[in-house]
Structure 1
Amino acid sequence: MGWEIWLAFLGASIAISLSPGAGAVQSMATGLTHGVRRGFFSVLGLQAGLMLQLTLVAIGLGAVVASSAVAFTVIKWIGVAYLLYLAVQQWRTAGQDLRDQLGGGGDGGRFALFLRGFLVNATNPKGLVFILAVLPQFLVPTDPLLPQYVTMGVTMTAVDIVVMMLYTALAARLVGWLHTARQQTVLSRVFSGLFAVAAIALSFARRGTAAA
């Protein structure tokens, strides 16, 4: 994997992590009920779940997708459809109070917070479909796949830790701002636009360019 491909993947990882989803909601919920320091254990759990999904992708479909134009195309359009679905759903949720989406906080030790974060990502099939649609775009079929997946895993995990901790800190310190109806509407529609832009960009992806 060359530097140009890695930098493109880094940008994609940042965009994916910034997009609000189950992991972001979990991070904000933990920041709201447990604060930043304890929220870190929830973020570590999220990364464990993410690594499980990445491992499943690498073991099960990596080589097939990298060598099959049909598989590449099918998964790509699944990814486009999923991103557009998220864009619509995000637009429809504009104005809702975030507290309606945050599960009961309750008490919990470090392991309980870690396990909660792990289960959020490990049991999220939408996240797995998203990874299946995105990762193959950056594979170089002529190079060994394992080092590429390791590089992608380390990159996504590092980026996601930073972003999820920012979500946790934001919820802990700016709860009032986050739950203002007007701010919720603006935030939801901004991310709806990001989902739509990502879908358009993915629709132009070609197996040849991804493998170059």
Structure 2
Amino acid sequence: MDSECWSAFLLASLVTAFTPGQAILLAVSNTLERGRSHALVSSSGNIAGLFIVAGAAAAGLGLLMQELPWTLQALRIGGALYLIYLGLQPWWPARPTRIASVPRTPAPTRRDLFMQGLTVAATNPKGLLFFGALFPQFVGTGPGLAARFLALTLSFAACTLVAHAVYILAAPWAGARLRDRVSPASGRKLAGSLFVLLGLGLLLA
């Protein structure tokens, strides 16, 4: 692959990675609610999900979506419903604990956060369209296919990691300026509402 082709792919990857979507919203939400280290766990799951989507694209996902458009619709609806599920969680009544009378919602484990990121990546229409439609044009065919596939996938994953890191680092700075105006519970509900709206937007798209 020549440098001009790789540069074009890198530019497309950066634009796609930095465009706010459900993966970025999940990273920001987890940063404000649980801290940067937990947000990095969900972002790691998102990176793993991207490799799954890229592998599916290499296996013929793009052709499948062209021949059977309902497959993309099914993934889009599944992803939208999952976002709505995540968004409704802060609004659900908290479960009372046996130790204290104060209601408390069980905190998600690192495995839960990792799976959140992976599920969002695997059902993200933006990523599916990128790898299903644009990615094959850069990978091409012929000798060196495996090397090109690995290089481009790693490049996209690196761009995604950089984008998440920027948002994760900036989220506490923005959150600190809103803390005096919005309570933590209200902040979680606000983030949840954004997830719900994003999910509804995917359903109506």
- Normalised to the residue count of structure 1, the TM-score between the two structures is 0.60
User: Mind listing any 5+ residue stretches in structure 1 that lack a counterpart?
Assistant: 66-70, 79-100, 181-212
- 1:27 — aligned with what? 27
- 2:118 — aligned with what? 118
- 2:153 — aligned with what? 153
User: Mind listing any 5+ residue stretches in structure 2 that lack a counterpart?
Assistant: 73-85, 91-104, 182-205
* One-letter amino acid of the counterpart of residue 137, structure 1: Q
Deviations 1:36-65 (A, max 9, x none): 122110110001111110000011257x79
- 1:137 — aligned with what? 137
Q: Could you say which structure has the larger radius of gyration?
A: 2
Q: How many residues align?
A: 147
Structure 1 residues 109 and 126: alpha-carbon distance in aligned structure 2, compared to 1, 3 A threshold:
same
1:46 maps onto 2:55 in alignment? no
- Normalised to the residue count of structure 2, the TM-score between the two structures is 0.62
* One-letter amino acid of the counterpart of residue 173, structure 2: R
Q: CA contact under 8 A between 2:58 and 2:136: conserved in structure 1? A: no
Q: What is the Cα deviation at residue 4 of structure 1?
A: 1.2
Distance in 1 separating the partners of 2:160 and 2:124:
16
* One-letter amino acid of the counterpart of residue 167, structure 2: Y
- 1:168 — aligned with what? 168
Distance in 1 separating the partners of 2:30 and 2:171:
8
Distance in 2 separating the partners of 1:124 and 1:153:
16
Distance in 1 separating the partners of 2:162 and 2:60:
28
* One-letter amino acid of the counterpart of residue 151, structure 1: A
Q: CA contact under 8 A between 1:27 and 1:42: conserved in structure 2? A: yes
Structure 1 residues 177 and 58: alpha-carbon distance in aligned structure 2, compared to 1, 3 A threshold:
farther
